[in-house]
Amino acid sequence: MKGRLITRAFLVAAAFVTFFPLYWILITSFKTQLDIVVNPTYLPWVDFMPTLEGWRWLLTEARADVIRAITNSLIVSGGSAVIATMLGAAAGYGLTRFQYRWRFWRNEDIAFWFISQRMLPPVAIVLAFLLMFRWLSLLDTQVGLTIAYTGFAIPFTVWIMRDAFAQVPLELEESAGVDGASAAGVFFRISLPLALPGVVGSMLFAFVFAWNEYLFALMLTFQEATTVPLLLASRITSFGTHWDQLSALTLTNLIPAAILGIMLERFLIRNRTEGSLK
């Protein structure tokens, strides 16, 4: 009984730590600048009277900028997530099903090479991307930003998909081959569906990474391809921080990633259920 109470208390504390920042952002989006800077207030209609000033700015003055930033973020994040997951699945499958040998390189060395590409901090290579994209006329374009984010996500998607395919029994693929399935058929009909949790995890990871990335968006875009993180940063100026506008925009920024996570989770649960019934 005591252990159960301790567990529940820990879960309640963890939930509070997790959700209180979201609650604070939510109520801040309905405050005036005066309510925000004078004293901390926690309960609407008790400590302060809610206002729609922050949301009115979001839906009127900044509407065009918000729509453009969200559209750019969706295209860039979605595109890089799909491409990185596809390439990661191909590389991960190859590293688990085939033995490569080139001089002293083996499968483990190749896998380590992929992940070693993320050892350098992004700030160390952003200048190289800037010069290369200027030469290729890819600055301030959705294509350029998608390429950059895809390259950064591939090392992680390769490792995620490599572990996912390692869990797929080799006997199933051999049985499909005996039944006459081609190598492509084995991959798309047997291995890839069984590695679906890895696919979902890879896509979600790559999407969230690109959605929240700031440095490359700052250096490689100027106006046409700006993303939501840049719009968020624009609310912090030398004249002060517009906390109500920043909070309203932050909540808007959370919605697409939350919807994607819920959809992918339900899709994964449904496919697991169908697989168990079969």
Q: Quick check: is 57 in a domain?
A: no
211 and 75, same structural domain? yes
Q: Whole-model pTM?
A: 0.86
The continuous run of DSSP H or E covering 218 comes out as: helix 215-220
Total tally of structural domains belonging to the chain: 2
22 and 154, same structural domain? no
Digitized pLDDT (tens) for each residue of the chain, 278 residues in all: 677 888 888 999 999 998 999 999 999 999 888 888 877 888 888 888 888 888 998 888 888 899 999 999 999 999 999 999 999 999 999 999 888 877 778 888 888 888 888 888 888 889 999 999 999 999 999 999 999 999 999 999 999 999 999 988 888 888 888 888 888 888 888 888 888 888 988 999 999 999 999 999 999 998 889 999 999 888 887 677 888 889 999 999 888 888 887 887 776 666 554 444 44
196: which residues sit within 8 A by CB, 6+ positions away?
268, 271
Q: Quick check: is 273 in a domain?
A: yes
CATH code at 206? 1.10.3720.10
Pairing assessment for the beta strands 240-241 and 236-237 based on DSSP bridges: antiparallel
Q: How many Cα atoms sit within 13 Å of 105 on the Cβ side?
A: 10
204 and 95, same structural domain? yes
Under 8 Å between Cβ of 37 and 18: no
139 and 113, same structural domain? yes
Query: Which residue segment(s) compose the domain that 33 sits in?
Result: 1-51
Exposed, middle or buried, 145 (CB in 10 Å: 0-12/13-18/19+)? buried
178 and 104, same structural domain? yes
